[in-house]
């Protein structure tokens, strides 16, 4: 769905554009350059890929920008990258695991979930 001259809405589970667990995914395409904003959840990229390719070949996407690390925004990065080979841009908090939560681990131990 074209939103402006260069912005396309190519994924959204909420509005039925792609897998029901996908966030809103945007393609910026100016006729010669293409980048994605977020990648959806990655469970099934069929509809998302189709929507991108209605605008430009997925292989022409050069960059993916992940807004944050929630699975519905970043889970599809690897699956999409296998078709495009684009660079992935993300903040340190997205690519680094969060620090352990001692109180969470203690809570799990008390319930017998952890040894």
2 within a domain of the structure (yes/no): no
| Strand ranges, E, within the chain | 7-11, 25-29, 34-37, 63-65, 87-89
Residue 115 lies in a domain: no
Residue 1 lies in a domain: no
In a domain, 61, yes or no: yes
Domain at 70, CATH number: 3.60.15.10
User: Total structural domains in the chain?
Assistant: 1
Q: Is 41 helix (H, G, I), strand (E, B) or coil?
A: coil
Per the domain annotation, does 72 fall within a domain? yes
Residue 43 within any structural domain of the chain = yes
- Per the structure, the complete domain to which residue 100 belongs is given by 7-110
DSSP string, 95-112: HSPPPP-HHHHHHHHHTT
Within a domain: residue 14?
A: yes
| pLDDT string in tens for the chain (115-residue length) | 999 999 999 999 999 999 999 999 999 999 999 999 999 999 999 999 999 999 999 999 999 999 988 889 999 999 999 988 899 998 877 766 666 666 666 666 666 665 5
């Amino acid at each position: 769905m074209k939103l402006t001259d260069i912005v396309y809405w190519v994924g959204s589970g909420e509005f039925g554009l792609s897998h029901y667990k996908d966030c809103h995914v945007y393609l910026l395409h100016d006729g010669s350059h293409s980048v994605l904003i977020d990648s959806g959840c990655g469970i099934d990229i069929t509809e998302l890929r189709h929507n991108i390719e209605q605008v430009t070949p997925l292989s022409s996407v050069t960059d993916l920008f992940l807004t944050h690390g929630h699975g519905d925004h970043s889970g599809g990065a690897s699956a999409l990258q296998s078709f495009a080979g684009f660079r992935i841009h993300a903040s340190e908090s997205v690519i680094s695991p969060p620090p352990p939560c001692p109180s969470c681990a203690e809570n799990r131990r008390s319930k017998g979930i952890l040894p």
